[in-house]
């Protein structure tokens, strides 16, 4: 039997929140609950309770359900130490180098500033799952509301050495729009072209495009490919630094 499972729960207009269940201990966590009602419905459907609420960053569409879920289930709240002043009532904080536990499932913490200055992400090897919040998206990355392009580029590098089979669970269903943009950067990327067709098919049936595989992201996501010579050439920026190329890609996406 698998060590645990992840349940994808749509919430708000385009957010995802994730139930993570350790099978042996039956400990259950919710990651980035933008609202409580869909989480409660998913728990009641399975006759589960909730032990832990985990946040990647302070934006309301990722923490809006915290208070109601904590009150209803007595769940503890864990989040980034760097955002302690902006996420109310945290019971425990963490930062890069720390481990978090969902029962027997051990999660590694990454500091990934860029979208916000204190943003963190979590990788759970036993379930090959990366919870990236609004740092890495399927075929995209988060807007730089608080950080710099250099910070975000360095943050994304931290994911590149994870196993290619890693399932990326990000914060939003932005994939179809991200795919259209990615094609403007690498129109001749055949893996990207095939992926775009798959994404269009999923969205036509109103199905999630999440999770995505990390090896597919590395082959198709322009924000992870700013150090690829083919991307630099496509942008007319051969010889420029990866940070400069990443900055240009982010600028173009902001105006797309």
Is 60 a catalytic site residue?
Answer: no
What is the Cα–Cα distance from 226 to 154, expressed in whole angstroms? 11
CB-count burial class (<10 Å; 0-12, 13-18, 19+) for 52: buried
Q: Which of 32, 51, 58, 62 is catalytic?
A: 62
Active site residue 14: no
- In this structure, are residues 220 and 192 in contact, taking their beta carbons and an 8 Å threshold? yes
> Would you call 32 a catalytic residue per the annotation?
no
23 is catalytic: no
Which position among 32, 51, 115, 119 bears the catalytic label?
Answer: 115
Q: Are 97 and 146 in contact (CB under 8 A)?
A: no
Of the candidates 32, 51, 111, 134, the residue annotated as catalytic is 134
* Cβ atoms of 43 and 29 closer than 8 Å: no
Cβ neighbors of 161 (< 8 A, separation 6 or more) are none
Among residues 57, 58, 111, 119, the one annotated as catalytic is 57
Q: Which of 172, 198, 200, 254 is catalytic?
A: 172
Identified catalytic residue from 51, 61, 111, 119:
61
Catalytic residue among 32, 58, 59, 119: 59
215 a catalytic residue: no
Instruction: Identify whether 47 is a catalytic site residue.
Output: no
Note if 59 is an active site residue.
yes
Catalytic residue numbers, as ranges? 57, 59, 61-62, 115, 134, 172
């Amino acid at each position: 039997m698998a060590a645990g499972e992840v349940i994808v729960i749509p919430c708000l207009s385009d957010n995802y929140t994730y139930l993570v269940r350790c099978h042996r201990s039956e400990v259950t966590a919710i990651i980035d609950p933008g609202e409580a009602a869909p989480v409660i419905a998913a728990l009641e459907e399975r006759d589960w309770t909730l032990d832990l609420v985990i946040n990647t960053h302070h934006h309301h569409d990722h923490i809006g359900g915290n208070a109601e879920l904590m009150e209803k289930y007595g769940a503890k709240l864990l989040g980034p130490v760097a955002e302690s002043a902006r996420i109310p009532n945290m019971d425990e904080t963490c930062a890069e180098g720390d481990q978090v536990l969902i029962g027997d499932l051990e999660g590694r913490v990454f500091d990934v500033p860029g979208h916000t200055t204190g943003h963190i992400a979590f990788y759970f090897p036993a379930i090959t799952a990366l919870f990236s919040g609004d740092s890495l998206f399927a075929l995209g990355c988060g807007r730089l509301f608080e950080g710099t392009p250099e910070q975000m580029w360095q943050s994304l590098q931290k994911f590149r050495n994870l196993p290619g089979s890693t399932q990326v669970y990000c914060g939003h269903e932005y994939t179809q729009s991200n795919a259209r943009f990615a094609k403007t950067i690498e129109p001749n990327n055949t893996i990207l072209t095939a992926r775009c067709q798959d994404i269009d098919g999923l969205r036509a049936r109103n199905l999630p495009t999440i999770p995505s595989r990390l090896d597919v992201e590395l082959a198709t996501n322009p924000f992870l490919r700013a150090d690829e010579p083919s991307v630099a050439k496509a942008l007319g920026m051969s010889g420029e630094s990866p940070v400069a190329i990443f900055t240009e890609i982010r600028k173009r996406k902001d105006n797309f």
